[in-house]
Amino acid sequence: MNNDYLDPINSLHVPELADTTFAMDLLLRAKEGVRNIAVALTESASPDVRTLLRNQLMQGIAMHQEITELMINKKWFHPYELSEQYKLDQLSANNTLMIGKMNLFPVETNRKGMFDRTPDDH
Amino acid sequence: MNPIIETLTGMDALSDQVVAMDLLISAKSGIRNYAMAVTEAGTPEIKEMLTRHLVEALDMHEQISTYMTEKGWYHAWDTNEQISLDLNNINTALNLPTL
Amino acid sequence: MKYALHEVLEVHEMAAFKTTCLTKSKTMKGLVTDQLLKDIMQQDIDISTRQLQEYASILSNAKQ
């Protein structure tokens, strides 16, 4: 671990890290989508809205399944081995902590003084 | 049920309307529970089963809501009508004697 | 065990929910007068019974 954001060592494995992060984000969105559509279905009464939502619900579930399988095959997600998943979680938690400790904005970023008056004064 | 027994046991308040509404609410929370469960399942066997159950719950929900709409106990299209029905139901429930 | 733990817990939750639903439908069906409502409730009872049997088989598979 180091706190230097310019150190090239930190750019190692970034593409893989990015892929896992985006895949997890996609999985969570698919999951949220399925739940939202199911809730919407319980609130809709007109037949065409219901058939539309039902089709989308089935597509959403299939999509969720596909992403889950992809993530399991790529070993980005271990629903069956909790110890494996724990290692992965530790890894990403430590990475996040490391980024949080980096001094990403070393120079002064205060923009006070760039404008001679506040927008309301115009 | 026998009207006399109904009054004696206080069961007359438990009309078909109340039972149907209970069924509708159960179906609705069932669908939401299923949607949660489906997105947590990974094993194809469990996922397939839960998806099938979700579809059955959706059919049941649709059937009950259609039934209640036909009976005039549920006004999805007329908010004012639904509100007066709600107020009526609230008063019925509030005025029920506690056994 | 061939299922993931969280899946089994999820099935357990659904089984608990469906058990109360089935109990309620079975007892309340006797209090209903309308025939159509009775039919719908009977259908609900049949479906719930089958679903609960499926949960039971999954849960007994999951038990070591």
- The yes/no answer to whether this complex scores an ipTM above 0.85 is no
The tokens describing A6, both together, are 């310019």
Q: Is residue A113 part of a domain?
A: no
Per the CB < 8 A criterion, the answer to whether B75 and B69 are in contact is yes
For B50, name the nearest residue in chain A, comparing CA atoms only. Answer: A61
Question: Is the confidence at residue A111, as pLDDT, over 70?
Answer: yes
**Domain locations along chain B:** 15-94
Per the CB < 8 A criterion, the answer to whether B77 and A47 are in contact is no
Question: Is the confidence at residue A1, as pLDDT, over 60?
Answer: no
Per the CB < 8 A criterion, the answer to whether B42 and A79 are in contact is yes
Residues of A in contact with C7 (CB under 8 A): 79
User: What is the average pLDDT across A113-121?
Assistant: 73
Residues of B in contact with A37 (CB under 8 A): 35
Per the CB < 8 A criterion, the answer to whether B33 and C13 are in contact is yes
Least confident of A3-7, B18-22, B44-48: A3-7
- Cα dist from C18 to B53, B63, B89, whole Å: 11, 18, 27
In C, residues 4-63, which contact B (CB 8 Å cutoff)? 4, 6-7, 10-11, 13-14, 17-18, 21, 24-25, 28, 30-34, 36-37, 40-41, 43-44, 47, 51, 54, 58
The count of residues in chain A is 122
Question: Is the confidence at residue C9, as pLDDT, over 80?
Answer: yes
pLDDT at A11: 78
* Cβ within 8 Å, pair A45-B76: yes
User: What is the average pLDDT across C41-45?
Assistant: 92
Q: Is residue A15 part of a domain?
A: yes
Q: How confident is the model at residue B84 (pLDDT cuts 50, 70, 90)?
A: confident
Per the CB < 8 A criterion, the answer to whether A80 and C4 are in contact is yes
Per the model's pLDDT, the better-predicted residue between A105 and B51 turns out to be B51
Question: Is the confidence at residue C16, as pLDDT, over 90?
Answer: no
User: What is the average pLDDT across A89-107?
Assistant: 87
For A80, name the nearest residue in chain C, comparing CA atoms only. Answer: C4
Which residue in B14, B56, B64 is closest to C40 by CB distance?
Answer: B64
Which residue in C3, C28, C43 is closest to B46 by CB distance?
Answer: C3
Per the CB < 8 A criterion, the answer to whether C52 and C33 are in contact is no
| Partners of chain A (3+ Cβ pairs below 8 A) | B, C
pLDDT at C2: 81
Least confident of A9-13, B44-48, B73-77: A9-13
Q: What is the DSSP string of A63-99?
A: HHHHHHHHHHHTTS--SS-HHHHHHHHHHHHHHHHHH
Tens digit of each residue's pLDDT (9 = 90 or more) over A74-96: 999 999 999 999 999 998 899 88
Q: Is residue A122 part of a domain?
A: no
Query: Using the 8-state DSSP alphabet, how is residue A107 labeled?
Result: S
- Cα dist from C12 to A73, B34, C59, whole Å: 27, 12, 8
Query: Using the 8-state DSSP alphabet, how is residue A105 labeled?
Result: -
Into how many domains does chain A fold?
1
Distance of CA A25 to the CA centre of its chain: 3
A 10 A CB-CB count for B4 gives 9
Q: Measure the CA–CA gap between A15 and A19, rounded to whole angstroms.
A: 6
Question: How many percent of chain A have pLDDT more than 90?
Answer: 53
Q: Measure the CA–CA gap between A80 and C24, rounded to whole angstroms.
A: 35
Determine the residue type at C26.
Answer: K
Q: Measure the CA–CA gap between C58 and B46, rounded to whole angstroms.
A: 8
Q: Measure the CA–CA gap between A56 and A41, rounded to whole angstroms.
A: 10
In A, residues 15-74, which contact B (CB 8 Å cutoff)? 30-31, 34-35, 37-39, 41-42, 45, 50, 54, 57-58, 61, 64-65, 68, 72
How far B43 CA lies from chain C's nearest CA (Å)?
7
How far B41 CA lies from chain C's nearest CA (Å)?
5
Handedness of CA C40, C41, C44, C45 (dihedral sign): negative
Q: By residue range, what is the domain housing residue A55?
A: 8-105
pLDDT at C4: 87
pLDDT winner (highest mean) among A11-15, B58-62, C21-25: B58-62
* Cβ within 8 Å, pair B34-C44: no
Q: Is residue A119 part of a domain?
A: no
Q: Is residue A72 part of a domain?
A: yes
For chain C, give the longest Cα–Cα distance: 47
Q: Measure the CA–CA gap between B31 and B29, rounded to whole angstroms.
A: 5
Question: Is the confidence at residue B92, as pLDDT, over 60?
Answer: yes
Q: How confident is the model at residue A35 (pLDDT cuts 50, 70, 90)?
A: very high
Residues of A in contact with B39 (CB under 8 A): 30-31, 34-35, 61, 64
* Cβ within 8 Å, pair A30-B65: no
